[in-house]
């Protein structure tokens, strides 16, 4: 169970605002979390605390396939992203890197900026100060990748060849 | 009952009949990536402990994002991927100056209709117009394909878009796809396969088809599928099985014959208006190029408009071919002379300014009209810069006038 303070964002948060391309070509990967979500809130990276939770509208992570978008959010200490829906490549990248994503209809209206919510991955619930919302459980196949700790670990455990 | 073309392609690869909604692990026929996603792929393989990838002949690498590298970091990262390509014996490795991956891979005939192709770039959906299933993933997913030869997929539903009538005059497939993005929305096709069909699609060139499939991801789609035909085979220099959807699917229709030139206004690709509604908006930059519209026919149509005229004094006009092959053909046929005599700047083939890191980065409050595919906040530079997406014809007309201009004003 995750419990954390909420940062709210709107619909269609794209990977260019999560991490602009100008920071991607860097040998030093530690710069990515320092610029996370800079396109929407330049002060976010300095104010976000480990364990905080991002709550957003529909189509979170749309745009480019840059995996640095998921990594920047994770390395900034964000415990989970809860959104109305996710763009598919970002969704895969987050699963592959062990960043918990929770698809939850109605969450953007039910939650206020700064409130503390509980995200219960086992029970597929998001608990706000007002109500408990059902979230969409991960399909068992993806849960297996998450349980392995990401796709790299999943590969090491299985070493399947096609 | 029947099934969708995409179901049939995935079934063929899986070796059994698959259905929409199913999670499957399937072999991937061809995988490709570029210098942007490459470094994290090399890192992921190292973490997996993979010393030799499974089949270097099913892999393509094209350096297109930083051409040539714009700083020491980009150069260092490219050197890492170059070393990897050589160590793994990847012969389909195209270093700086060959073009954009989504153009070079089909141009070289590396892919076949009826197959599964995965690219580590979101615009890998472009190749769906060759009658195959092609989709974009991130670096770790691509590394997994290199390690195992396969990937996991959720078999997508199909959303068919029937494009009725034929495109007319200076209205291109870019205007058509912008109209479709407006109808479908930025997430209306999430997790789905878009399938473009109808008279307009049948009549248009393979290059125009690529423009449409390229933007499938801007609606959240996994791929932008089109049935293969003789134009497809000619472009690829090879044939393959033709798969058709013969089951009932969600379908929407668009009248291509009655379209006027379109523009996606800043902030969202779905913020589409007729050019006539925003005509006269002053621009600082016009960009003709990218994996969306950097093909020969785009350069040709743009050159027809700008020939004998001058780029407006307050506007810079940047022209970049999507591949070296296109660049050479354009040079041979005098198109590059037309652009340069008009005052345009010709860039090295590659992604150019589309991703906002070099070769035409926008400053604060600057406005660009671009043939590329994204107009997100800060996409091409400063967070306060603005990007309008349009066709090659609209961009050329706007470059001449220094403001957004309907290309139908030009003979």
∠ CA A79-A82-A84 to the nearest 5 degrees? 165
B27 and B117 assigned to the same domain: yes
User: Does A12 lie at the interface with B, CB-CB under 8 angstroms?
Assistant: yes
B269 and B185 assigned to the same domain: no
Residue-range domain boundaries for chain A = 2-137
Query: Per residue in B242-254, pLDDT tens?
Result: 999 999 999 999 9
B216 and B266 assigned to the same domain: no
B361: confidence class by pLDDT, cuts 50, 70, 90: very high
∠ CA B26-B28-B30 to the nearest 5 degrees? 170
Query: Which whole number is the average pLDDT over B378-402?
Result: 97
Give me the residue from A27, A141, A156 closest to B152, CB to CB.
Answer: A141
User: Does A59 lie at the interface with B, CB-CB under 8 angstroms?
Assistant: yes
Q: What is the ipTM of this complex?
A: 0.94
Architecture of domain A2-137: Alpha-Beta Barrel (3.20)
What SS3 class is residue B276? helix
Residue A159 confidence (pLDDT):
72
Query: Per residue in A113-159, pLDDT tens?
Result: 999 999 999 999 999 999 999 999 998 889 889 889 899 999 999 87
B249 and B288 assigned to the same domain: no
CA B336 to chain centre: 22
Q: What percent of chain B has pLDDT over 70?
A: 100
Query: Per residue in A65-94, pLDDT tens?
Result: 999 999 999 999 999 999 999 999 999 999
Residue A146 confidence (pLDDT):
86
Interface test with A, best of B23, B138, B372 (most A CBs within 10 A): B138
- Say yes or no for a CB contact (<8 Å) between A151 and B144: yes
A161: confidence class by pLDDT, cuts 50, 70, 90: low
B37 and B74 assigned to the same domain: yes
Residue A160, pLDDT > 70, answer no
Query: Which whole number is the average pLDDT over B136-140?
Result: 98
Secondary structure E strands in B173-236:
193-197, 223-225
Residue A162 confidence (pLDDT):
62
B235 and B363 assigned to the same domain: no
B72 and B104 assigned to the same domain: yes
Interface test with A, best of B187, B190, B379 (most A CBs within 10 A): B187
B234 and B283 assigned to the same domain: no
| pTM for the structure as a whole | 0.96
Query: Per residue in B183-234, pLDDT tens?
Result: 999 999 999 999 999 999 999 999 999 999 999 999 999 999 999 999 999 9
Final residue in a domain of this structure, among B193, B223, B254: B254
B1: confidence class by pLDDT, cuts 50, 70, 90: confident
B160 and B297 assigned to the same domain: no
CA B122 to chain centre: 9
Query: Per residue in A12-60, pLDDT tens?
Result: 999 999 999 999 999 999 999 999 999 899 999 999 999 999 999 999 9
To the nearest whole angstrom, how far is the Cα of B391 from the nearest Cα of chain A? 20
Query: Which whole number is the average pLDDT over B115-137?
Result: 98
Please return the burial class of A78, using the count of CB atoms within 10 Å of its CB with bins 0-12, 13-18 and 19+. Answer: buried
B312 and B192 assigned to the same domain: no
Residue B64 confidence (pLDDT):
98
User: Does A84 lie at the interface with B, CB-CB under 8 angstroms?
Assistant: no
Query: Per residue in B70-112, pLDDT tens?
Result: 999 999 999 999 999 999 999 999 999 999 999 999 999 999 9
Final residue in a domain of this structure, among B254, B286, B311: B254
Final residue in a domain of this structure, among B210, B231, B254: B254
User: Does A137 lie at the interface with B, CB-CB under 8 angstroms?
Assistant: no
Residue B363, pLDDT > 90, answer yes
B154: confidence class by pLDDT, cuts 50, 70, 90: very high
B106 contacts B99 by C-beta, under 8 angstroms: no
Neighbours of A61 (CB within 10 A): 28
Domain that residue B319 falls in: 262-409
B271 and B247 assigned to the same domain: no
How many structural domains is chain B composed of? 2
B134 and B234 assigned to the same domain: yes
Q: Name chain B contacts of A21, Cβ cutoff 8 Å.
A: 36, 355-357
Q: What is the CATH number of the domain that holds B390?
A: 3.30.499.10
Cβ-based neighbours of B211, under 8 Å, separated by 6 or more: B172, B173, B174, B177, B292, B293, B295
Q: How far apart are CA A132 and CA B161, in angstroms?
A: 39
């Amino acid at each position: 169970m995750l419990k954390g303070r909420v940062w709210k964002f709107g619909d269609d948060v794209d990977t260019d605002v999560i991490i602009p391309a100008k920071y991607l070509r860097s040998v030093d990967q530690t710069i990515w979390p320092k610029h996370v979500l800079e396109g929407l809130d330049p002060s976010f990276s300095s104010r976000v605390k480990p364990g905080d939770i991002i709550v957003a509208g529909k189509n979170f992570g749309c745009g480019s396939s840059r995996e640095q978008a998921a990594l920047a959010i994770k390395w900034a200490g964000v415990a989970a992203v809860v959104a109305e829906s996710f763009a598919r490549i970002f969704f895969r990248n987050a699963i592959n890197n062990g960043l918990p994503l929770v698809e939850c209809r109605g969450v953007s209206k039910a939650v206020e900026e700064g409130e503390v919510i509980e995200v219960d991955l086992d029970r597929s619930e998001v608990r706000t100060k007002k109500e408990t919302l059902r979230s969409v459980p991960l399909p068992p196949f993806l849960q297996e990748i998450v349980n392995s700790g990401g796709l790299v670990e999943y590969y090491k455990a299985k070493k399947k060849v096609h | 009952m029947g099934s969708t073309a995409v179901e049939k392609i995935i079934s063929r690869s899986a070796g059994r009949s698959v259905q929409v909604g199913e999670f499957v692990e399937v072999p991937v026929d061809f995988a490709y990536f570029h210098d942007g996603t490459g470094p994290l792929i090399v890192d992921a393989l190292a973490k997996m402990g993979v010393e030799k990838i499974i089949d270097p002949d099913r892999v393509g690498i094209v350096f297109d994002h930083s051409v040539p590298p714009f700083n020491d970091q980009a150069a260092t990262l490219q050197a890492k991927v170059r070393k990897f390509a050589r160590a793994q014996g990847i012969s389909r490795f195209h270093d700086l100056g060959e073009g954009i991956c989504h153009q070079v891979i089909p141009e070289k005939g590396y892919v076949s209709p009826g197959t599964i192709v995965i690219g580590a770039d979101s615009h890998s959906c472009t190749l769906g117009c060759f009658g195959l299933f092609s989709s974009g993933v991130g670096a770790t997913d691509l590394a997994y394909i290199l390690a195992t030869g396969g990937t996991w997929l959720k078999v997508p539903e199909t959303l068919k878009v029937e494009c009725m009538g034929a495109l007319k005059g200076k209205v291109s497939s870019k205007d058509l796809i912008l109209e479709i993005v407006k109808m479908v929305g930025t997430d209306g096709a999430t997790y789905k396969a878009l399938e473009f069909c109808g008279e307009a699609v049948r009549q248009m060139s393979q290059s125009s088809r690529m423009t449409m499939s390229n933007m499938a991801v801007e609606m959240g789609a996994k791929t932008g599928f089109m049935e293969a035909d003789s134009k497809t085979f000619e472009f690829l220099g090879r044939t393959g099985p033709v798969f058709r959807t013969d089951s009932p699917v969600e379908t929407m229709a668009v009248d291509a014959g009655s379209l006027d030139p379109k523009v996606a206004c800043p902030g969202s690709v779905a913020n589409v208006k007729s050019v006539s509604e925003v005509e006269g908006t002053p621009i600082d930059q016009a960009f003709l190029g990218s994996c969306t519209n950097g093909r020969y026919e785009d350069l040709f149509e743009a050159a027809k408009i700008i020939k004998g005229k001058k780029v407006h004094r307050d506007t810079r006009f940047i022209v970049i071919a999507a591949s070296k092959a296109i660049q050479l053909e354009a040079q041979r046929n005098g198109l590059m002379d037309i652009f340069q005599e008009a005052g345009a700047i010709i860039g090295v083939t590659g992604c150019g300014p589309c991703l906002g890191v070099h070769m035409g980065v926008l400053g604060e409050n600057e406005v660009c009209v671009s043939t590329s595919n994204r107009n997100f906040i800060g996409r091409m530079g400063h967070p306060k810069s603005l990007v309008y997406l349009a066709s090659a014809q609209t961009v050329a007309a706007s470059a001449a006038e220094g403001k957004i201009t309907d290309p139908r004003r030009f003979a």
